[in-house]
Amino acid sequence: MTPDDIDQDQLAAEWAAALDDTDDDAGPDLSAFDTDFSEESSGGGDAGEASGGAGGAGGAGDDALAAEWAAALASEEEEAIKKEKEQDRLAKKSHPADFKDLTNESKAPRDEYRRDLDFILDIPLDVSAELGRTKLLINELLQLGQGSVIELNKLAGEPLEIYVNGKLVARGEAVVINEKFGVRLTDIISPIERVKQLG
């Protein structure tokens, strides 16, 4: 038999003797346990205590984590309540927008165009009458002298062109008024033709 079997038999015998004993205060004699078995028991106890301690520490950590979550949720709920109260306060102060009806004013006759035009009536403009145009080379320009004749692109009898600030606005014919040249307008450029000239 091995020592372990002897220990087991001895332990069983001691337990049987303890059960037969009628004295309730008397317990089994544990002093006869093998020292190896005692050391194993004490080692198991230490491991149990360590695991129990770790469990206790884990429980404390869980409680702290739960407390932090509860505080965060309470703070978030409080913030939501504050925002809701602020929205209610702003909603009480707000009112529907009131826009003026401009339908009748838009249908009414507008005298403002004339009034707006009055602001620009005093602006000076440069008006010029053009008999014709041509292009010259620098060499030809240098050869010009007194009595030279420059041929223009206009034919005889064609109307003069009237320019205002460089933009063609009318055509006419040359006249003499009080010994000064003048232009009698014969054609006004339409707005469509003016837009084409801009292009």
Q: 65-118, pLDDT tens digit by residue? A: 888 888 888 888 888 898 888 888 888 877 777 777 777 766 666 655 556 667
Q: Which two tokens stand for residue 106?
A: 């838009």
**pLDDT: which is higher, 79 or 120:** 79
Asked whether the predicted pLDDT for residue 38 surpasses 50, the reply is no
Q: How far apart are CA 15 and CA 7, in angstroms?
A: 12
- From edge to edge, which strands make up the β-sheet containing 160-164? 127-130, 160-164, 167-177, 180-188
Mean pLDDT of the chain, nearest integer:
75
Q: Return the pLDDT at 44.
A: 44
Model confidence at 185, in pLDDT bands (50, 70, 90)? very high
Pairing of strands 167-177, 160-164: antiparallel
What residues does 64 pair with on adjacent strands?
Answer: none
CA distance 183 to 172: 6
Looking at residue 28, its pLDDT comes to 46
Write out pLDDT tens, residues 18-36. 777 644 444 444 444 444 4
At 138, the pLDDT band (50, 70, 90 cuts) reads very high
- Extract the tokens encoding 156: 């005889």
Q: What is the pLDDT of residue 55?
A: 46
The contacts of residue 161 (CB under 8 Å, 6+ apart) are 129, 130, 168, 170, 171
The pTM score is: 0.39
Positive or negative: CA dihedral 153, 155, 157, 158: negative
For residues 155-177, average pLDDT = 89
pLDDT above 70 covers what percent of the chain? 68
pLDDT for residue 1 is more than 90: no
Instruction: Give me the pLDDT at residue 195, please.
Output: 75
What pLDDT, on the 0 to 100 scale, is given for residue 86?
87
Position 41 scores a pLDDT of 45
Structure tokens at 38: 């005692």
In angstroms, the Cα distances linking 9 to 31, 32, 36, 49 are: 15, 12, 16, 29
Q: Which of 5-19, 105-119, 169-183 has the weakest average pLDDT?
A: 105-119
Top pLDDT among 132 and 27 is at 132
